[in-house]
Structure formats: C-alpha cells, structure tokens
Chain A
Amino acid sequence: MKRAPILLCAWLAVAAPGMACAAGSLTATLHHAGVAGVQARRLAHMARADGVPTKTVLGWAHHFAGLHSEGLPVSLAVEQVFEGLMKGVAPGRITAALRVFGDDLRSARQALDRHATPGSVLGHPRTSRRALSDLVIAGREGIRGRSLDRLLGTGRLSVLQVATYTQVAADLRGWGVGRARVVRLLGRARKAGVSDKRLFALDAKLGRQAAQGRSPRALGRDVSEGLGLGPSGGVGGGFGAGAMPGPSGTMGSPGGDFSGPAGAGGGSGAPGGMGAPPMGGP
C-alpha cells in the first residue's frame, strides 16, 4: 500500500504524455483529412469528452478525407458531426448519417455543376458552400433530380440564384407546402425573373406567418401573390395535410409528394413523416 502513490505517479508520468500524444495524433489525422485546424482540435476534444472510440473518429476522418479528395467542403460534414455530438446522438448513428450526408453532398455538387455557371461557382466559394448546403437540405425535403431540374430550369444560373431558389424551396417544404406546388411556384418565379432580394424578403415574411400558424395552403397562395405570379392554378397541387407543427413542437407529415404530370423522379418520399432521407444507421 505504501507503494501505491509512487505507482500512481509513475503511471501518470507514462500515461499522460501518451494520452496527450494520442489526442494530438487524432487532431493531426483529422487535419490531414482536410479538417481545418480549429475544427480538428474541437472535434478531437468533443469526441474525447463524449467518450467516442478513437476507431470511430478515425472512421469519420476517412469520410472527411474522401470528401476532401473530391474537392467537397469538408467543413459541412464536420458540422454534421458537431450537431450529432451536441444532440447526444450515438457515434454509430453519426457515422451512418455522415455516410448519407457525403452522398447528398456529392449529388448536390453534381446539381450545382449542372445548374450554376462555372465562373460564379469558382468566383464565390462561400456562396457555393451555402448553395451546396441548401441543395443537401432541399434534397432531404424531396427536391432533387427531375424536381430540382424543373425548379432551376435548363439555363445556367448564378450560384447565388441557385442557393436562393433551393433555400426558399426547402423553407416552403418545411412549412408543409407540397413538392409539386413548390417546384411549380418557384419555377414560375425563376422564369419571371424574380430577384433574389424579393424572394428572400418574401421568405422571411412567410416565416413569420408560418410561426403564427398560417396554413401551408395559405402560404402557397401568399407566395403566388407575393411574387405577382397570379393564380397558380392546378387543383391538387400537392398540398400535404396539416404539416405545421403541433403544440408539442413535433411535425406532422409534410405529405403531398409530387405525382403530377411531369413526374418527380429522383425524390424519395419522406419516411416516417419527418421528411428525412432514409438513414442507413441504427
């Protein structure tokens, strides 16, 4: 027993530098995977604090490295991990979500390459990053593939326009407006040359109205009137039933997935009424 303090000190003397070295090497690994220095340090620290196994973090680093090698913004994927850790999501589910997010990001990149002018993408890296994030969200809301093509059209847009239209589309879907309705309304707005500023202003106004409990149908009508598009027509334009939040703060089913004449390929339905893409994890 007399030797216990000595042994403890000896163990600390050996283990502490080893642990510090391990943490340092984890940060270095993340950094080599394309994670910025500050984010790498923070991620290593949070993972250690939450008891995430090193092997899992190395798996995340592998995903980050893949995205980095493809020229995709790793920071968006790191933020997804931060969000999971903050919410107390199990590490295995974070890994699964990261895999799905990586696929979504690749699809978003393809969409951006298809719809945005190369000059605007190269010239505005921050806006491009935002556009990719908005495209991922819009994809989760079912606006991807042919739906997205109908919304953004065949002509090339600036990266800011792509970001604006996808963000407003995602917001409208989040308020429960049906996918077909969103695609039709914003497609018409794009053709009519509605400015980004006007669209953003309307978006903010609709957000306040949605918070006060305005129905998805009324919000869709507000978009039409607010943008001066007149009656959008079309009975059964894809409205979901009661998609606004209930008193408990949970969401109803976004509903109303597009099944109109032009089809809506590429978009899977929203499982479980949550509007989220299917998760590969537990």
Chain B
Amino acid sequence: MAGERDRSLSESEVEAALKAWSGPAVADDFVDRVMARVEAVAAERASPRRRKLAVWAMAAGVAILAAGVLVRMAMTPALPPGTRLVRFVLDMPHAEQVALAGSFNDWGRRIALHAHGHGLWTVRIPLRAGQYSYVFVVNGHRVIADPHAEGYRPDGFGGRNSLIIVGSSGVAA
C-alpha cells in the first residue's frame, strides 16, 4: 500500500483527477436554503424586543446628553439682564491674598481674587453698564490701584481709585 501511495502520478492521471474534482456535487436547492436562512436571521434581528432595546438605548443616550448640558448650565451663573461679566486681573507674584473693592457694591464686601499661577490673580463679576471706581486690596491691608485700569480718579483720601467703564457691549478690565 505504501508503495502504491508514494507512486508519482502521471500527467494524464492528474488531469483526469482534476476533471473529476471540478464538478462538486451541490444540491439544486442549495441557494434557496441559504437565502431562507438569511431571511430568518434578519427577521430574528428585527424582533420587537430588539427594537425596544434600541429605543431605550437611544433614550438613555439623549438623557445623558441633556443632563450634561443642564449641569453645564447650572455651573455657569445666570446673568441678570443688562449685565456683563467683567474680568479683573492683577499681576502680584508675592501676594498671599488679593481682593477687589469698589463702588459697584457701595464699597461693601470685598471680593476675593483667585490665584492662577505665576502671580496672576483674577476674578469675574457681573456689572451693569456704567462707570465704577475700584481698588485692589493686597494681603488684607495694602490698597493699590490697578496698573492697567481704563482711568483713575482722586478718591478724596489722597489716593486714586481705578476706573472701569462698562459699556453696553461689555468690556474686560
């Protein structure tokens, strides 16, 4: 048997074998059966349960998106009509704390500025259109004018207040 198996085939034998192999036996209803199976799978995928799941997934996605938008809106303070957010900036590298005081709240409560690294202190407050006098209070006691103010006015105590002009289109100090 081993000698039979190892025997090399002649060219004519190979050709005859290929001819015999090139016509595989496929049933006549093979294509119909395959298509029926495909249709069955498609019908299964489009079942009401799957459709429900897809709707729920979409609703959950929309809900998450809406929640994100709402959280963002809640974190951004709503501005009263007619006001603008005005940014005050002071470059004071060695300060431990910086506050803002001015005529916008009748020289009442001091507003703390936030440190942003490299000695930069900033705060944003809503202001109506108009002119306001203000000063920075460094380390709780040192009163200084804004070096980059839009103007200056004598304060009646021998010093100067900084001036900011908030237009209807808004400005940043």
* 12 pairs of residues in contact across A and B, judged by CB atoms under 8 Å: A42-B108, A82-B108, A83-B157, A87-B135, A137-B153, A141-B153, A174-B152, A207-B171, A208-B150, A245-B152, A251-B160, A272-B158
Cα of A82 to Cα of B144 in the assembled complex, Å? 17
9-residue interface stretch from B48-56, B99-107, B117-125: B99-107
A79, B107: Cβ atoms closer than 8 Å: yes
Chain B residue numbers with a CB within 8 Å of A279 are 157-158
Is chain B's binding surface mostly helix, strand, loop or mixed?
loop
B113 within 8 A of A: no
Q: Which of A39, A167, A274 contacts B159 (CB 8 A)?
A: A274
Tell me the B83-126 residues at the A interface (CB within 8 Å). Answer: 101, 103, 106-108, 110
- Residues facing A in B135-173 (CB within 8 A) are 135, 137, 141, 143-160, 163-165, 167, 171, 173
Mark B residues whose CB is within 8 Å of A: 101, 103, 106-108, 110, 131, 135, 137, 141, 143-160, 163-165, 167, 171, 173
With contacts A89-B157, A245-B145, A249-B145 taken as known, whether A204 is within 8 angstroms of B152 at the C-beta atoms is: no
A 68-94 binary contact with B (CB < 8 Å = 1; else 0): 000000000001101111111100011
Q: Does any Cβ of B come within 8 Å of A211's Cβ?
A: yes
> Which one of B137, B147, B163 lies within 8 Å of A249 (CB-CB)?
B147
Q: How large is the interface on A (under 10, 10 to 19, 20 to 34, 35 or more residues)?
A: 35 or more
A140 within 8 A of B: yes
Q: Indicate if the CB atoms of A87 and B147 lie closer than 8 Å.
A: no
Query: Does A277 sit at the interface, judged by CB under 8 A?
Result: yes
> In the complex, A141 Cα to B106 Cα: how many Å?
22
Q: Is A165 an interface residue (CB 8 A)?
A: no
B103 & A79 in contact (Cβ 8 Å cutoff): yes
- Whether A137 contacts B149 by the Cβ 8 Å rule is no
